[in-house]
Amino acid sequence: MNVIELQNVTKSFGDFRAVDDLSLAVPEGCVYGFIGPNGSGKTTTLRMIMRIYHPDPGAGSIRVLGEDDYGAAHDRIGYLPEERGLYKKMKVREILAFYAELKGVRNTKAAADEWLERMGLSDWADKKVETLSKGMSQKIQFISAVIAKPDLVILDEPFSGLDPVNLNVLRDAVLDLRRQGTSIIFSTHDMGVAEQMCDYVFMIFQGRKVLDGTLADIKDQYASDTIRVKIDGDNGKLGNLGGVESVMDFGQLQELRVKPETDTQELLAALMQRGRVEHFELARPSLHDIFVRIAGPEARVAIEESVKQEALHA
Amino acid sequence: MRKVLVIAVREFQASVRTKAFIITLVAMPVMMGGSIAVQLLLKDKEDISSRGIAIIDQTGELHGAIETAANKRNTEDIFAKAEERNGVQIKGAQIKPAFEIKTLDPPADAVDELKFELSEQIRNKELFAFAIIEPSVIDGAGQLYYYSNSPTYRALPTWLRTTVNDTVREIRFDREGIDPSVVAKASEEVRRQDRDLVTKDASGAIVEGRTTNRAASFAIPFGLMMLMFMVVMVGASPLVNSVLEEKMQRIAEVLLGSVPPFQLMLGKLIGTVGVSLTISTVYLAGAYAAVAYAGYASLFPTHLLWWFLLYQCLAVFMFGSLFIAVGAACSDMKESQSMLMPVMLVVVSPMFVWMAVLKAPSATFAVIVSLIPPATPTLMLMRQSIPPGVPTWQPLLGVVLVALTTLLFVFVAGRIFRVGMLMQGKGAKFGEMLRWALRG
How high is the pLDDT of residue B330?
85
| Closest Cβ–Cβ partner in A77, A85, A102 for B250 | A85
- Tally the C-alpha atoms within 13 A of residue B11's C-alpha that lie toward its C-beta: 31
B7 touching A, CB under 8 A?
yes
Interface mutation target, options B258, B418, B424, chain A, most CBs of A under 10 Å: B258
For residue A196, what pLDDT is reported?
Answer: 87
Using one digit for the tens of pLDDT, what is the confidence trace for B98-111? 999 999 888 877 78
At A141-168, the pLDDT tens digits run 999 899 988 999 999 888 887 888 888 8
Q: Quote the CATH superfamily of domain A2-214.
A: P-loop containing nucleotide triphosphate hydrolases (3.40.50.300)
Interface of A with B in 92-151 (CB under 8 A): 98-99, 101-104, 141, 144
| Chain A residues inside the 8 Å CB shell of B258 | 74-75, 79, 99, 102-103
Interface probe for B, chosen from A52, A75, A134 (most Cβ of B below 10 Å), is A52
Chain B positions in Cβ-Cβ contact with residue A74 (cut-off 8 Å): 257-259
Give this complex's ipTM: 0.77
More confident residue, A102 or A220: A102
Q: In the β-sheet with A183-187, what is the strand arrangement from edge to edge?
A: A77-80, A152-156, A183-187, A31-35, A200-205, A208-214
Tell me the average pLDDT of chain B: 86
Give the model's pLDDT for residue B226: 86
User: What proportion of chain A, given as a percentage, has pLDDT over 70?
Assistant: 95
Query: Does the pLDDT at position A10 exceed 60?
Result: yes
Whole-number pLDDT of residue B380: 92
Residue B426: which pLDDT band, with cuts at 50, 70 and 90? low
pLDDT tens readout for residues A103-131? 888 888 888 888 899 888 889 989 998 89
Residue range A14-31, pLDDT digits in tens: 788 888 888 999 998 899
Q: Touching check for B5 and chain A: CB below 8 Å? A: no
Domain boundaries along the sequence of chain B = 51-81+92-177, 214-439
Chain B hits for A83, CB-CB cut-off 8 Å, are: 250, 253
User: Which residues on chain B are in Cβ contact (under 8 Å) with A141?
Assistant: 254
In chain B, what percentage of residues exceed pLDDT 90? 29
Indicate whether B359 pLDDT > 70. yes
Q: Do A86 and B249 touch (CB under 8 A)?
A: yes
Residues A270-277: contacts with CB within 8 Å, 24+ apart?
A270/A241, A270/A242, A271/A229, A271/A231, A271/A238, A271/A241, A274/A231, A274/A233, A274/A234, A274/A235, A274/A238, A275/A231, A275/A232, A275/A233, A275/A234, A275/A235, A276/A231, A276/A232, A276/A233, A277/A229, A277/A230, A277/A231
Grade residue B396 by pLDDT with cuts at 50, 70 and 90.
very high
pLDDT at A229: 86
Interface of A with B in 196-235 (CB under 8 A): none
Q: Is the pLDDT of residue B32 over 80?
A: no
More confident residue, B181 or B161: B161
| Predicted pLDDT of residue A65 | 82
What pLDDT does residue B70 have? 92
Report, as an integer, the average pLDDT of B211-222: 81
- Please name the member of A77, A83, A102 whose beta carbon is closest to the beta carbon of B259: A102
3-state secondary structure A115-184: HHHHCCCHHHCCCEHHHCCHHHHHHHHHHHHHCCCCCEEEEECCCCCCCHHHHHHHHHHHHHHHHCCCEE
Q: What is the pLDDT of residues B143-178, one digit of tens each?
A: 999 999 988 988 899 999 999 999 998 899 888 888
More confident residue, B30 or B154: B154
- The pLDDT, as a whole number, for residue A75 is 81
| Subunit contact B257:A70, Cβ cutoff 8 A | no
**Greater pLDDT, B235 or B425:** B235
What is the pLDDT confidence band of residue A314, given thresholds at 50, 70 and 90?
low
Element housing B342 (H / E): helix B333-348
What's the mean pLDDT in A289-306? 76
Contact assignment for A85 to B252 by CB distance below 8 Å: yes
Choose the weakest-confidence range: A154-158, A278-282, B378-382: A278-282
pLDDT at B161: 94
Question: Which band of pLDDT confidence, cut at 50, 70 and 90, is reported for residue B71?
Answer: very high
Helix ranges restricted to H, chain A: 42-49, 92-102, 108-118, 134-146, 164-179, 191-197, 215-223, 264-274, 287-295, 297-313
Please write the tens of the pLDDT for every residue from B243-287.
Answer: 988 888 888 888 888 888 888 899 999 999 999 999 899 888 888
Q: Does the distance separating the beta carbons of A85 and B249 come in below 8 Å?
A: yes
Higher pLDDT, B314 or B332: B314
DSSP letter for A67, please.
B
A224-283: CATH architecture: 2-Layer Sandwich (3.30)
Cβ contact (<8 Å) for B6 and A102?
yes
Subunit contact A104:B2, Cβ cutoff 8 A:
yes
Task: Give the mean pLDDT of B185-191.
Answer: 89
- Report pLDDT for B162: 93
Checking if the pLDDT of A73 tops 70, the result is no
Mean pLDDT computed over B404-421: 86
- pLDDT tens readout for residues A34-62: 988 888 888 888 888 888 888 888 878 88
Within chain A, all domains assigned CATH 3.30.70 are found at 224-283
Instruction: Give the confidence band of A69 by pLDDT, cuts at 50, 70, 90.
Output: low
Whether A83 contacts chain B with CB within 8 A: yes
**Residues in chain A closer than 8 A to B246 (CB atoms):** 85
At the topology level, CATH places domain B51-81+92-177 in D-Maltodextrin-Binding Protein; domain 2 (3.40.190)
